[in-house]
Amino acid sequence: MRIRGLEIRVFEGVYPPSEDTFLLMDAVSGEKAERGLELCSGTGAVGLSIASRVGGMVAVDLNPVAAMNTLANYRRNGMQVHVVVGDLFSPIRGEFDLIMMNPPYLPDGDGTPADLSWSGGASGRAIIDRFISEVGDFLSPGGRAYMLQSSLNGIVESIERAESEGLDAKVVGRRDFEFESLVVIRMERMGQGSTRIWKS
């Protein structure tokens, strides 16, 4: 398929670029960075959409087929990426100016992972909560993280958790549907371009 000037192939069983993918693409569209990281990369479409303005891009997906799909799409579009098969931040070392993630975020009932692409555990927050608690360790000074999530699993909860981790967090993109809203939450370490006023 052709998406915003990019040639994107979708391998069998890999999450096809959808409304959430496009919303995250929109949110990062004005970014540029020395070091970029896309977690849960799938086809790689989000990182690829700004790869020309990122010095070095790393992509991670737990599904080896998705990781291969990411690599194939970067090659197909003449871009470089370092792809790793792994669980969220576990294979990652160092700091990044730009971190992006469209995770599996849908509640899946009893918590038994039904599908790696969309199952976010019983509450839908399994990957989201891990991301929020770990992302600060991988942000460079001034670095920005963009995370997609749904209103089905607690937008305010995410912002409060991020703040308790020492991050400024705000919604920078939103799309409303009949049964849910999708949002993009941008996070950065507190005190870096932040307007937060500390109260004692």
Ligand X SMILES: C[S@@+](CC[C@H](N)C(=O)[O-])C[C@H]1O[C@@H](n2cnc3c(N)ncnc32)[C@H](O)[C@@H]1O
Tokens 């670095």, residue located = 143
Closest by alpha carbon to 148, among 5, 47, 13, 21?
21
C-beta neighbour count of 76 within 10 angstroms:
14
36 binds ligand X (CB under 6 A): no
| Residues 166-195 contacting ligand X, CB under 6 A | none
C-beta neighbour count of 195 within 10 angstroms:
5
10 binds ligand X (CB under 6 A): no
In the chain, the amino acid numbered 180 is E
Using DSSP's 3-state secondary structure scheme, residue 108 falls into: coil
Interface residue with ligand X, options 8, 23, 49, 63 (CB under 6 A): 63
| Residues 109-148 contacting ligand X, CB under 6 A | 116-118, 127
Encoded one letter per residue, x for contact with ligand X by CB under 6 A and - for no contact, window 76-105 reads: -----------xx-------------xxx-
Closest by alpha carbon to 171, among 187, 157, 160?
187
Q: Which is nearer to ligand X, 124 or 168 (CB)?
A: 124
Interface residue with ligand X, options 60, 83, 169, 187 (CB under 6 A): 60
Assigned token pair, 33: 């960075």
42 binds ligand X (CB under 6 A): yes
Tokens 């470089």, residue located = 80
Least Å distance, CB 26 to ligand X, is: 12
Q: Residue count at the site for ligand X (CB under 6 A)? A: 25
Q: Is 134 exposed, middle or buried (0-12, 13-18, 19+ CB in 10 A)?
A: middle
Interface residue with ligand X, options 6, 36, 41, 183 (CB under 6 A): 41
Interface residue with ligand X, options 23, 37, 46, 51 (CB under 6 A): 46
